[in-house]
């Protein structure tokens, strides 16, 4: 098995991150919903006040190989606040290319986000998963996550586009 490194993303990784976001959307059968650009990823993640943080998983080349590291996975996270529990980290996406799954790369990304959560004083680490992605749900449960839909009955809602403008009176 090749050597894997999980590191903080750099601005120069935005092309790879966008490629992987598109792959994730294809996997989730939601390709038509990807509207983000490489420029937006740069502006939103690498400015003075980033809206998100990102980890990338790299496969490192074998000694003596001419190729550089290859980005094969990512995790995008950000901080939210719970009025009941305080500081919380939210993992928006975790994705590993299909040919690299089953090697523990996704678990390494998730564990690194947990380290960040503890370093930042977060009391919770939240994420969501589509109801048909049983493999991911099994992984999260194996790592110790609690399914809040089962346990507490939570449903997540989203206002987008026209609904947001109408709500804001604009």
Q: Which domains, from first to last, does the chain contain?
A: 3-127 (3.40.630.30), 130-169 (no CATH)
Contacts 24+ apart (CB under 8 A), 8-13: 8/53, 8/54, 8/55, 8/56, 9/45, 9/53, 9/54, 9/55, 9/56, 9/74, 10/46, 11/42, 11/45, 11/46, 13/54, 13/56, 13/71
Q: pTM for the full model?
A: 0.91
What tokens appear for 107 in the block? 């678990």
Whether 100 is catalytic is no
CA distance 152 to 146: 10
Quickly state the pLDDT bin for 157 (edges 50, 70, 90).
Answer: confident
Q: What is the pLDDT of residues 10-64, one digit of tens each?
A: 999 999 999 999 999 999 999 999 999 999 999 999 999 999 999 999 998 777 6
- Residue of 88, 78, 75 whose CA lies nearest to 52: 78
Given the residues 77, 95, 100, 140, select the one marked as catalytic.
140
């Amino acid at each position: 098995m090749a050597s894997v490194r999980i590191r903080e993303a750099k601005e120069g990784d935005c092309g790879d991150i966008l490629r992987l976001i598109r792959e994730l959307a294809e996997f989730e059968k939601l390709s038509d919903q990807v509207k983000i650009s490489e420029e937006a990823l740069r502006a939103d993640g690498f400015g003075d006040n980033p809206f998100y943080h990102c980890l990338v998983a790299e496969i490192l080349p074998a000694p003596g190989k001419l190729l550089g590291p290859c980005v094969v996975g990512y995790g995008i996270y950000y901080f939210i606040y719970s009025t009941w529990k305080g500081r919380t980290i939210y993992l928006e996406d975790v994705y590993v290319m299909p040919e690299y799954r089953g090697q523990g790369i996704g678990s390494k990304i998730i564990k690194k986000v947990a380290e960040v959560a503890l370093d930042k004083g977060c009391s919770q680490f939240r994420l969501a998963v589509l109801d048909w992605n049983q493999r991911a749900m099994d992984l999260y449960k194996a790592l110790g996550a609690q399914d809040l839909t089962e346990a507490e009955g939570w449903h997540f809602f989203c206002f987008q586009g026209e609904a947001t403008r109408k709500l804001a009176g604009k």
